[in-house]
Amino acid sequence: MSRVKKNNLIWLTVFSWLLVLWANASNSTEKYSNNIKPLFMALDNSLPDYVGFDCWHGYEDILDNLRDAQNGVPPEKDKVKIAECLMNSAKTEYPPLIFATSVFSDESINAVTRGIEIVSSRLGNYGPYHVYLVGNNEEKGFVVDVEEIAKIYCNSADKYTEEPFENCFENAMNDFPNFGCCGAAHNPSHGIGQNIRYQSAVFSEDNRSTKEGRSIITSAHEYIHVYQNGFFLWGNDIAAEQAGLTEEYSHGPVWLEEGFAEGLAQKFTYQDGYNNHYKDFLNEALDAAIKVNRIHKFTLRDIATRQDQANVRSICEECQGWLQYETAAIALAVLESQIGNENFIDSFKSYYGNVPIVGWESAFEVSFGMSMNEFYEMIDIFMEKPKKEQRKIIHKLL
Ligand SMILES: [Zn+2]
């Protein structure tokens, strides 16, 4: 074999290997390659200087008034124009940042990363968004680096929101070491008065949640809340809440917000091959929905407001969860099986885009083609069917 030929052979071998490596790499990342990839950050990292979107120019007076009033309703003048700007300002080109204590494995951090990518590839990149993986006190050694993670959490709050560091730090140092297993909590984005629509979530999961396949779903669930919060623009309507009503320009009842978040997180992770338990999830949710409906006679109508939630809890502690998560997910699964998967996602996006402009009840009707009452009645009819038939309906989602 001549020298030249030998060299050619070596290059051919190297080239084939590169081709194999490239093919493998592109197979695993292709689906999310157009996304902004979340970044894992050290706890002592400095914080980015985010630049936001200015929706105030020319609207200073209107927005100042809205902020001061905080009564949760849009302005009369240029409502659509201002709403569109604020909705846009909830999107970002900045990558989501993940902060974790040293107890978390690479596998856990990757699961949280992938959960965000699964959702952002479908709904877009919202934020800036920070995730704090804190852990829980279920076993000794699960809560470490509390001060370090509380510091970066509160430095971020101080830098990007109106909450001062001291206040945040005192609360975090009390709360973080006492987290039980397992879940996550999301902090809302603000609307009026902020150029940076910073959002964050705190996770009390641990490495076991990742092994059970749960962390990726939790991360997807929280990121759906990030998306939803991008459409909450006008502040809280305290008066409506005190009167036991659901704010007109809010996301609607909590069960709707949570039903979408959990149902879609389960579905999206299933579609991308990361959730083998989707069918079990639907079956178990159906069992819980049947139990709360037949034994306790509750329906989704019974948890429309915060007062309702408290009322349900006082009668049956577990019922609030069974309604808010399981029954809500089943009700939305019934809706999806009726209108089809693609229409359902389009209607979901249309719903949130309409909430700040026409209010949640009209947004639901415009987007899903039925009023809230018609929806409730459809679920009543579903709940009376034999279980075999119910399963057939929700298994259309598989
Ligand atoms: Zn949630």
Its pTM stands at 0.91
Residue 202 CA, ligand 1 centroid: distance in Å: 12
User: Judging by beta carbons within 10 Å of its beta carbon (0-12, 13-18, 19+), is residue 252 exposed, middle or buried?
Assistant: buried
Distance of CA 56 to the CA centre of its chain: 27
Residue 28's pLDDT is 46
Residue 329 CA, ligand 1 centroid: distance in Å: 12
Residue 257 CA, ligand 1 centroid: distance in Å: 7
Residue 9 CA, ligand 1 centroid: distance in Å: 57
Tell me the three state secondary structure of residue 132. strand
Are 149 and 132 a contacting pair, CB within 8 Å?
yes
Residue 192's pLDDT is 78
Are 351 and 231 a contacting pair, CB within 8 Å?
no
Residue 130 CA, ligand 1 centroid: distance in Å: 16
Residue 203 CA, ligand 1 centroid: distance in Å: 12
Residue 258 CA, ligand 1 centroid: distance in Å: 5
Residue 25 CA, ligand 1 centroid: distance in Å: 33
Are 49 and 26 a contacting pair, CB within 8 Å?
no
Write the single-letter amino acid at 284: E
Residue 209's pLDDT is 93
Residue 30's pLDDT is 66
Residue 46 CA, ligand 1 centroid: distance in Å: 29
DSSP for 179-231?
PPSS-EEEEPPP-TT-SS--EEEEE---HHHHHTT-HHHHHHHHHHHHHHHTT
Residue 221 CA, ligand 1 centroid: distance in Å: 6
Residue 18's pLDDT is 44
**In the chain, where the domains are located:** 3-235, 246-397
Residue 364 CA, ligand 1 centroid: distance in Å: 19
Residue 135 CA, ligand 1 centroid: distance in Å: 18
Residue 21's pLDDT is 42
Residue 237's pLDDT is 85
Q: What is the mean pLDDT of each run of 10 residues along the chain (398 residues)?
A: 41 44 47 88 97 88 85 92 93 97 97 98 96 91 91 96 95 95 86 84 94 96 97 87 88 95 97 97 98 95 91 94 96 97 96 97 98 97 98 97
Q: What is the DSSP letter of 324?
A: I
Residue 101's pLDDT is 97
Residue 337 CA, ligand 1 centroid: distance in Å: 22
Residue 136 CA, ligand 1 centroid: distance in Å: 18
Residues in the chain: 398
Residue 307 CA, ligand 1 centroid: distance in Å: 19
User: How far apart, in Å, are the Cα atoms of 293 and each of 37, 290, 301, 323?
Assistant: 42, 5, 11, 9
Residue 349's pLDDT is 98
User: How far apart, in Å, are the Cα atoms of 229 and each of 53, 155, 266, 288?
Assistant: 16, 22, 19, 28
